[in-house]
């Protein structure tokens, strides 16, 4: 999927679409692929966030110090993966918003929403890292 997106982006950047009808069509196709890609990243991020939440709950309820540290490390890892996926989704939505002027506001909203989710996830990971000290 990423290779296809990169291919269409390179065609757009180098101006190989001179016909405006073809150009608009290719931008629409590229934006649809970017949005599909972003949705996949969001789904993956939500899966990781759920696993992180479960590990966090186990961490906070654990009595043994070693167990608590291990569970915190697992939760941090899941949070980091989740934040990475949210950031990638935000980047895809942002790129799609530059291609589609008619949907710019809604795509930018999704981009900003995913950036906030990434930041929140990273803050939770920092909190859990603090439990290890």
Q: Model confidence over 46-93: pLDDT tens digits?
A: 999 999 999 989 888 888 888 888 988 999 999 999 999 999 999 999
Contact (CB, 8 A) for 75 and 52:
yes
Instruction: Give the pLDDT of residue 22.
Output: 46
Residues 83, 117: Cα–Cα separation, whole Å: 7
Counts of helices then strands in the chain (DSSP H, E): 4, 0
Domain housing 24:
2-131
Residues 67, 71: Cα–Cα separation, whole Å: 6
Residue with tokens 């990475």: 84
Compute φ and ψ for 17, nearest 5 degrees. -105, 95
Average pLDDT over residues 93-109: 93
Total domains, the chain: 1
What percentage of the chain carries pLDDT values higher than 70?
A: 81
């Amino acid at each position: 999927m990423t290779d296809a997106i990169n291919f269409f982006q390179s065609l757009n950047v180098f101006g190989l679409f001179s016909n405006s009808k073809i150009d608009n069509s290719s931008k629409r196709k590229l934006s649809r692929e970017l949005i599909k890609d972003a949705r996949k990243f969001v789904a993956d991020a939500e899966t990781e966030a759920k696993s992180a939440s479960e590990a966090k709950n186990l961490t906070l309820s654990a009595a043994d110090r070693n167990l608590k540290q291990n569970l915190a490390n697992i939760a941090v890892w899941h949070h980091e993966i989740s934040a990475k996926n949210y950031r990638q989704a935000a980047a895809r939505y942002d790129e799609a918003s530059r291609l589609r002027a008619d949907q710019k506001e809604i795509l930018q909203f999704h981009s900003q929403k995913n950036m906030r989710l990434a930041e929140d996830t990273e803050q939770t990971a920092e909190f859990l890292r603090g439990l290890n000290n």
